[in-house]
Amino acid sequence: MDAYSQIVVSAVAAAKESVVKIDVRKLNKQRKLTPAGAGSGFLFATDGYVFTNSHVVHGAAELRLTFADGTEHPATLVGEDPDSDLALLHTPATGQPAARLGDSARLQIGQLVIAIGNPYGFQHTVTSGVVSALGRTLRTETGRLIDNIIQTDAALNPGNSGGPLIDADGQVLGVNTATIRGAQGLCFAIGINTATAILPALLSEGRVRRGYLGLSTQQVELHPRVINFHQLTTRQALFVVSVESGSPAEAAGLRAGDFVVAFADQPVASTDDLFRLLTGDKIGAFQYLTVLRDQQRQKLELRITPVDGRLAAMTKE
């Protein structure tokens, strides 16, 4: 056996027992359970906790896991975060080996990576490739962007979602999540560091809390004279189309027609910039929203409230 094959075989042997096939059933209009797709996941703790994608299990009425040895076990949804497309499951299954988690921050372009999953129901399918790029962003179904996405050419297909992306040592570096339809070798995984960062919130609250402002915006280009006069670091700003009644933005005095250029003293050039800054640690705290109004620069103080399942701001394209 050649050296490359030996590396792949060894890595798969170290991780494959932790990989599960997830069968999803949902209630139909007659309130009967019906099959609603399948995906992948991986056990990362010996006490039965499994990572997968939110889009795999969202809205499920029943979840069943199939392990590499063919045994089936029920699972329950502990929590999910659609904004990062991650979900946490728990199964009462015992004695199953858990995957070892690596450090996605140490990945390098060109590094060997291996995907394990269940594409189209073919259990424990293995594909390999390299890290094609790092630091990509990927938009989720909620409209938010996930940062630090891993791009790889390890082939992924429907059913791979939620499975692990591992390195040559069998350590999990990412959660496989998406491909670009019609493209060849454009596959993406969420860095495992992102998953472990939100794990405490999923365990304690079943969700990840983010802040809410209550404004509708449109990204616009600023005139060079405005940029130079106010010494701005970006060429774009958010033009406020409307402000929701009773929202933190309204309470702070934000008006339609204002131009948002910074939040919490950080430059804002797009709604994605604003979303990234509306983290859970800011909920309940007072922050400054910097705006341009009537050619003047103003700071509006507002108190951030939780988003409760909605986008932190509504965007008008």
Whose structure tokens read 């599960």?
Answer: 20
Residue 295: the pLDDT is 87
Do 116 and 185 share a domain, yes or no? Answer: yes
Instruction: State residue 106's pLDDT score.
Output: 92
CA distances, 255 to each of 183, 251, 300, 301 (Å): 44, 10, 11, 13
Least confident of 36-40, 41-45, 142-146, 170-174: 142-146
Q: Is 270 a catalytic residue?
A: no
Q: Are 307 and 284 in contact (CB under 8 A)?
A: no
What per-residue confidence (pLDDT) applies to 310? 41
List the Cα angle 236/237/239 in 5-degree steps.
Answer: 135
Please indicate, yes or no, whether residues 171 and 249 belong to a single structural domain of this protein.
no
Q: What share of the chain has pLDDT > 70, as a percent?
A: 96
Provide the CATH number for the domain around residue 66: 2.40.10.120
CATH number of the domain bearing residue 257: 2.30.42.10
Which domain does 288 fall in, by range?
211-315
The confidence band for 183, taking pLDDT boundaries of 50, 70 and 90, is: low
Q: What is the arithmetic mean of pLDDT over 177-183?
A: 74
Name the band, by pLDDT with cuts 50, 70 and 90, for residue 29.
confident
Asked if residue 201 and residue 227 are part of one domain, the reply reads no
- Among residues 163, 187, 208, the one where a domain terminates is 208
The candidate with the shortest Cα–Cα distance to 143, out of 278, 285, 275, 277, is: 275
Rounded Cα–Cα distance for residues 108 and 91 (Å): 34
Same domain, 153 and 226: no
* Residue 284 contacts residue 303 (beta carbons within 8 Å): yes
Residues 6+ apart with CB under 8 A from 48: 90, 91, 92, 93, 94, 96
**For residue 312, what pLDDT is reported?**
37
Question: Which of 109, 108, 128 shows the shortest CA–CA distance to 170?
Answer: 128
Question: Is the same domain home to 238 and 291?
Answer: yes
Tokens of 305: 């409230």
Token pair belonging to 121: 């129901």
Residue 317 has a pLDDT of: 31
Which position among 18, 40, 84, 161 bears the catalytic label? 161
Report which of residues 198 and 1 the model is more confident about: 198
Amino acid at site 283: I
pLDDT computed for residue 182 by the predictor? 66
Predicted structure pTM score: 0.80
| Arithmetic mean of pLDDT, 194-203 | 92
**Is pLDDT of 105 > 60?**
yes
Q: Catalytic: which of 55, 83, 90, 258?
A: 55
Confidence at residue 146, expressed as pLDDT on a 0 to 100 scale = 80
Q: Are 298 and 196 in contact (CB under 8 A)?
A: no
Q: Average pLDDT, stretch 90-99? A: 90
Examine the residue annotation and report whether 85 is marked as an active-site residue of this protein: yes
Tell me: do 179 and 235 sit in the same domain: no
Average pLDDT over residues 277-296: 90
State yes or no: is 23 an active-site residue: no
Predicted pLDDT of residue 178: 77
Active-site residue, from 85, 167, 258, 273: 85
The DSSP output letter for 302 is E
Q: Are residues 26 and 83 both part of a single domain?
A: yes
- According to DSSP, the β-strands at 171-179 and 100-101 are parallel
Note whether 88 and 227 are same-domain residues.
no
- 3 state DSSP class of 98: coil
Element containing residue 14 per DSSP (H, E): helix 3-15
- Greatest mean pLDDT among 118-127, 137-146, 157-166, 307-316 lies in 157-166
| Shared domain check, 182 and 94 | yes
Mark whether 202 and 218 lie in a shared domain. Answer: no
**Of the candidates 208, 236, 252, which is a domain's last residue?**
208
What value does the mean pLDDT take over residues 268-286? 84
- Distance, CA of 45 to CA of 96 (rounded, Å): 9
Using the 3D structure, point to which of 161, 183, 208 is the last residue of a domain: 208
The pair of structure tokens assigned to 229 is 């006069």
The number of domains in the chain is 2
**Residues 104, 108: Cα–Cα separation, whole Å:** 9
> What residues form DSSP beta bridges with 237?
220
Question: Does residue 221 sit in the same domain as residue 287?
Answer: yes
CA distances, 145 to each of 227, 247, 253, 312 (Å):
26, 23, 28, 12
Alpha helices (H) along 208-287:
224-230, 248-252, 271-277
Residues 115 and 102 in one domain: yes
Q: What is the mean pLDDT of the chain?
A: 89
Each residue's pLDDT tens digit, 213-271: 988 888 899 999 999 999 999 999 999 999 988 889 999 999 999 999 999 999 998 87
Report residue 268: phi and psi, to 5°. -125, 120
Least confident of 39-53, 56-70, 175-189, 198-212: 175-189
